[in-house]
Each structure stands twice: as structure tokens, then as C-alpha cells.
Amino acid sequence: MKKIILFVTAIMPFTCLSNDIFLLRHAEKLKGSDPELSVEGKKRAIRIAEKLTPYKPTLILSSNYKRTIQTATPLASRLGLDIKLYNPRDNRIVFESIKNNKGPIVIFGHSNTIPLLVNELSGSDVLISENEFSKVFKVSDGKLTILDSN
């Protein structure tokens, strides 16, 4: 019971944030253990950058895998921002960054990690199928909106 209470207490402050938080899966990838983006994935990464630039993110977080870093790079380049890396098996850096940042945040992750973050930030259950790359989840004031990167 103590673990559950500590977990809920640690998450509660994030549901009250006024920052826009965008969460999305990496773009289409090649095969392999740590694959790079495919040609289509590189095109999608550019479209993502075009769609998210107007929101003027002040922080970009990416898991420490090639495909997520490559998906985040066009946006970071457009905005002149560095990409802050995190281990997708340990979200402490993500939550600390959210808590300490002023302004919109973009988080790049995976089909099995982004839904967990969306749930923790909004209380909404979402799914991303293995062949789905276009969903962009926007959490603002704890409310979820689903956008499209196409």
C-alpha cells in the first residue's frame, strides 16, 4: 500500500501542469536491435518538426535509441535546442524535466512507453499499435488531445 501511495503522490503534481506536453512514438524504422529511421520515417520526422515548431517547445526529450533521436533531430534543429536523453525504463528524468521546465515539452518514445507516460500525465488509457506512427498525444492541464502527424 505504501508503494501505491508514494506512486500517486509522485504523479499528482503533473496532472496540474499548465505546460503543453506532446508525446509521440518515433517514426518508421528499419529492422534491427537499434535501427535507424527508414526513408518514410525521415520524411515523417520532418513533418513532425513542421507541425510542432509553432508550439515553440522549450524542451525536447528522447529515449536513448537511434530511432527516437533521429525523429527528434529535425525539430531540435529548427528550434536550436539540444535533445535531452532519457532511459525509457526509468522515467525519473522525464518527470524531473517536466516539473522543472517552463514552456511546451516534446517527448519522443516508443509504442510501449508513450502510452504509460500519457496515462500518468492525463489519466487516459491509450494504445499505439506496432505499425502506428502518426499519433501525437497532447496533454495540457491534465487533459488529453490526440493529434496526427500526417
| Rounded Cα–Cα distance for residues 66 and 77 (Å) | 16
From first to last of the 150 residues of the chain, give the pLDDT tens digit. Answer: 333 333 433 443 444 445 899 999 999 999 999 999 999 999 999 999 999 999 999 999 999 999 999 999 999 999 999 999 999 999 899 999 999 998 999 999 999 999 999 999 999 999 999 999 999 999 999 999 999 998
- 8 A C-beta contact, residue 63 and residue 107: no
In one-letter notation, the amino acid at residue 75 is L
Domain ranges, ordered by start, for the chain: 2-148
Angle at Cα 106 formed by Cα 104 and Cα 108, nearest 5°? 170
Class of domain 2-148: alpha beta
The residues that bridge with 37 in the sheet, in sequence order, are 29
pLDDT tens digit sequence for 54-90: 999 999 999 999 999 999 999 999 999 999 999 999 9
What are the phi and psi torsion angles at 84 (to 5°)? -90, 120
